[in-house]
Structures are given as structure tokens and as C-alpha cells.
Amino acid sequence: MSEKRTELEQLGEFGLIDHLTEKFENKQSSTSTGIGDDSAVISHSKDESMLISTDMLIEGVHFNLMYMPLKHLGYKAIAVNVSDICAMNGVAEQITVSIAVSSRFPVEALEELYDGIRAACDTFNVDLVGGDTTSSLSGLMISVTAVGRAKNDVITYRSGAKEHDLLVATGDLGGAYVGLQLLEREKQVFEANAAIQPDLDGHDYILQRQLKPEARIDVIKFLKELDVVPTSMIDISDGLASEIFHICKSSDVGCKIYDEKIPIDTETSMTAIDFNLNPITCALNGGEDYELLFTISQDDFEKIKGNPHMTVIGHITDKAAGKYLIDKQGAAIELQAQGWNHFEE
């Protein structure tokens, strides 16, 4: 090993992946796309490809069991992987689940976890086809691999956005992050005084956004029905700004998005303000919404116009024009990707 020491936080999650995999070459002709998108693409036939994606959830990093019910955790573990398949304009069909678990968990706790996994399988119409179970010295870890498929002519990558394309976001943004702030606040209150019960009334929506997100399989169906094939797509797991940066980097373009166009639920907005947070900042940098961000040709605008699940938030520009947020006064603010960094101290 080299004597040189580079801290993980200097590279960040995606920089580390790029660094560790830059010397790997695909040797199989069936590997259409390897590392670098939401899912790998494996040629399956002349007309269709297999999509494969994997994610890990680690106790103390991705979830806190003080406020994350195990059933919700099982559901969320599947949803976030199905979302990656959706981000390729594909349909998930199978999953594998591997867990590492410490002796502090009884069988009944794992039954609850798998109840959530089964509920997600029913919701997203996927089959559990395998996995692994092992011991852990430090809590619970869950690794899920999702397998799906898509027709070759509709598979959507991060790299297809073109100048003048429209940027579209599904659903609303920022709710998961604000829900997390609420849960963390109540956890701190409980730790200070266990006699004080959590005050969560009136916040069902943002709590659901954090604890039980939904993969947007419905949007993939809508796009097919509308005969719209996005030019690029990604799921919003690390915050809107970070995902915009991924599309712009992969597509070698710039963009403009508009503050007033970003979809934010009223409960999200009001609760963010209660926490002295800017709702737009929560949407841009919060993460874990698991909505979809995609670009479409302007020719397809009439097809999605008025659809309640989709909002045009901006457009793609030439790379030299940069990446900007246009505020309500018309001022251009350079976008910063400040979403989740797994290796930040």
C-alpha cells in the first residue's frame, strides 16, 4: 500500500467510485452499461435489456431504529432500489436481500423487517428470489439488489440531455428531509427527558416521505401511456441539485431551474419555516425524496402539460452557460451540489 493518505471525504461517494473503478474495463459484450448510471444495463435480447442495481442501508448511517420502525425500514430498503430501476425507465421484477444482524435482534424483530419487505414486494410487484444472512458486530445492515428490464429503445440514461430540453421533476420535493429534521428533534427531546412524548401530530405527510418513500413506478407507466421517452433521467436520492449535476456532467450540458417552479408540499414548506429552514434549500439539498428527475424534448411538452405528477422546473442550456437557479426576482444564483456525502465528517 502507498504511504500517501487521501481522506475519503476529499473524494466523496461518487468521486471514490470513479477513482476505484477507473481501471476496470468491461470484457463481456453483453455489458452495455456498467458503473456510472442508476443501474447497470445487460443485453438480454435484440429488443430488451436487463437492469441491475444495488444499495446498502447501514444502521447509524442511513437509519436510526429509535424512530425508524423495522417494518418501514424493510419497505424503504426495497423502494429505494426499485427507484433506481425506474430511473432507467424500466420495470423492476426481482430482488435479493442480504442482511447482517447482531445478536441484540430477536427473530421477531427480523420478522417485522421482512413483513415490510413483503409489503413492498406486493406494492411494486417484485419477487424476492434470494439473498444472504450473516452476523454483525455493530447493528443491522441491509443490502438489496434489484433486477428489472426495459425495451432497448426506451432505456433512459443520465447522458442524453440536449440543449433546450425541458427539466421535469415528479411529485414534490424536500418532504423527506424536513421529516427527518422533525424526527431528529423529537429524538433529542426524548433523550433529554424520556417522560416527554414525541410531538408528531399533523405531520403525517412528511413523516411518510422519510419513513416510507414510494418508488415512482406509476410515472414509468404514465410516460409509456403518453408515448414520452425522456432524453435523460435519474432518481432524486441525494437532493435535486446533486441529481441535476449528475445529468449535466453525464450529458455535458448546463441548465437553468426556476425557484418558483420547484414543487414543494404546503406541509413541507410550513414545517421547514418552523425549523428556520428555507424550503427551496430543503428541496435542493435534502435528498431521500425518491422522485424522478428527467429531461424531455420540447416537442413532448404538450403530452405532459397539465399532468399532476410532473412539473417542468427549468431547461437545459449549453455547458458554457453554467448551472443556475433563477430566483423569484429573476436573479441567477449559481447552483451548488450540497446533498448527502457519505464520507463527510
- All CATH 3.90.650.10 domain ranges of the chain, comma separated, are 166-334
Domain with CATH 3.30.1330.10 in the chain: 41-151
Mean pLDDT of the chain: 92
Q: Tell me: the pLDDT tens digits for 57-111?
A: 999 989 999 999 999 999 999 999 999 999 999 999 999 999 999 999 999 999 9
Measured between alpha carbons, how far is 178 from 283 in angstroms, rounded to an integer? 9
- Of 185, 189, 172, residue with least CA distance to 267: 172
> What does the buried/exposed string (b/e) look like for 165-182 if buried means 16 or more CB atoms within 10 Å of the residue's CB?
bbbbbbbbbbbbbbbbbb
CATH fold label, 41-151: 60s Ribosomal Protein L30; Chain: A; (3.30.1330)
**What's the pTM value of the predicted model, to 2 decimals?**
0.92
**What is the layout of strands, in order, in the sheet containing 91-101?**
31-33, 40-43, 48-58, 141-151, 91-101, 127-135
Is residue 343 very low, low, confident or very high in pLDDT (cuts 50, 70, 90)? very low
Grid cell of 268 as nine digits: 413541507
pLDDT in tens, 101-154: 999 999 999 999 999 999 999 999 999 999 999 999 889 999 999 999 999 999
pLDDT tens digits, 273-332: 999 999 999 999 999 999 999 999 999 999 999 999 999 999 999 999 999 999 999 999
- CATH for 166-334 is 3.90.650.10
Residue 1 is predicted with a pLDDT of 52
